[in-house]
Amino acid sequence: MSTNIEWADETWPVVTGCTPVSEGCHNCYAARMAATRLKHHPRYEGLATIENGRAKWTGEVRLNPDVLEQPLHWRKPRMVFVASMGDWLHPSVPDLVTYRVLDTTQEAPQHTYQFLTKRADRLPIVTKRWLLGRGLHEPPSNVWQGVSVENQAAADERIPWLLQTPAAVRFVSVEPMLGAINVTPWLRECGGGSFPIGLPLHQPLLPRNWHQPALSWVICGGESGPGARPMHPDWARSLRDQCQAAGVPFFFKQWGEFVPESHWKDLTMIQRNRKGAIFSFRDRRFPQDQRMYRVGKKAAGHLLDGRTWQEFPVQPKDIIQ
């Protein structure tokens, strides 16, 4: 189904439903959608509820075989976000299902598939076993693997697992960003060489004859919806600067519900006063006395220091001869 997610063209709901694993799940947008706007849809009905004003998953994870072959019917090449309303590596999803999903990416190779998970420890195991089982000696160029992190602790836990995963593109989605994150140690360039499919799981694996940063892409965004927590602009700036220094594409998706005072001053009067939604953190000071104003996701927009940052990685198939 088509999507408003800025870095994808389509979502592919092969898995719906989830359970929380960390602080970034506290105000899950997918749970909120499943409990409200999509609550009567067959793929989402009963997966989430509203309790004390907050959306919560019920714990059921649903597999949707009826959409498994959906990409085969999309003729125009698309960027496909896999399982945007769940986690394709949730423990309730059998390995055979994950392999079948990965098989579909090769049956419809005209698309690029963006896989994202918080269950990073399962990622290298599933990916490597799939490659071995299909006799593939290098990761397909149209399969991108990513992990979602929200703070330094999550980054320290999940990114090392990602770097052990054979993938043409490895990316990190820092959304919602709940604290400053240093990713510089994982932005260093790795050398190419043969693709040693039989190496131990702990050793990083790369396509042959190709050099790339350990991370190929970094996405950043604030939190939106009820109960959203603000993102300090210095956190986003630092992440952008780290990527710029390493030559890694940086995609600033959105501010979320809150913008810094400097951005708020640039909004139109209508945006400032839309439904009286302005909220100033005048009594809650961030580092360097940063005031944040709640104006809503749409008004907050996606400008960082006066410009858009919507960079994409170069497709491996475009540079591998």
Please give the Cα distance from 48 to 35 (Å, whole number): 5
Confidence of residue 192 (pLDDT cuts 50, 70, 90): very low
Q: Beta partners for 113?
A: 80, 143
Q: What is the distance between the alpha carbons of residues 219 and 248, in angstroms, rounded to a whole number?
A: 11
Q: Is the separation of the CB atoms in 20 and 26 below 8 Å? A: yes
pLDDT (0 to 100) of residue 312: 95
pLDDT tens digits, residue range 223-268? 998 889 999 999 999 999 999 999 999 999 999 998 888 877 777 6
| Cα Rg of the chain (Å, integer) | 20
Of 249, 260, 265, 242, the residue nearest 308 (C-alpha)? 249
Q: Are 64 and 88 in contact (CB under 8 A)?
A: no
262: DSSP letter: H
For residue range 112-130, list pLDDT tens digits in order: 999 999 999 999 999 999 9
Lowest mean pLDDT among 12-21, 272-281, 290-299: 272-281
Of the chain, the percentage scoring pLDDT greater than 90 comes to 71
Confidence of residue 283 (pLDDT cuts 50, 70, 90): very low
Distances (CA, A) of 100 to 65, 92, 165, 251, 288: 10, 15, 18, 30, 50
Q: Peptide bond before 176: cis, by omega within 30 degrees of 0?
A: yes
Asked if pLDDT for residue 320 goes beyond 60, the answer is: no
Q: How confident is the model at residue 275 (pLDDT cuts 50, 70, 90)?
A: very low
Instruction: Give the rounded distance of the alpha carbon of 165 from its chain centre.
Output: 16
H or E segment at 129? helix 123-133
pLDDT confidence of residue 189: 63
Output the pLDDT for position 38: 96
Single pTM value for the model = 0.88
Distance (Å, whole) CA 116 – CA 83: 8
Q: Does the pLDDT of residue 292 top 50, yes or no?
A: yes
Residues 3 and 309: their CA atoms lie apart, in Å, by: 20
Quote the pLDDT of residue 203: 43
Q: Give exposure, 20-58, as e/b (b: 16+ Cβ within 10 Å).
A: eebebbbbbbbbbbbbeebeeeebbeebbeeeeebbbbe
**Is 193's pLDDT higher than 50?**
no
Cα distance between residue 10 and residue 108, in whole Å: 14
Sign of CA dihedral 208, 211, 213, 217: negative
DSSP summary character for residue 315: P
Greater model confidence, 7 or 204: 7
- Predicted confidence at residue 3, as pLDDT, reads 65
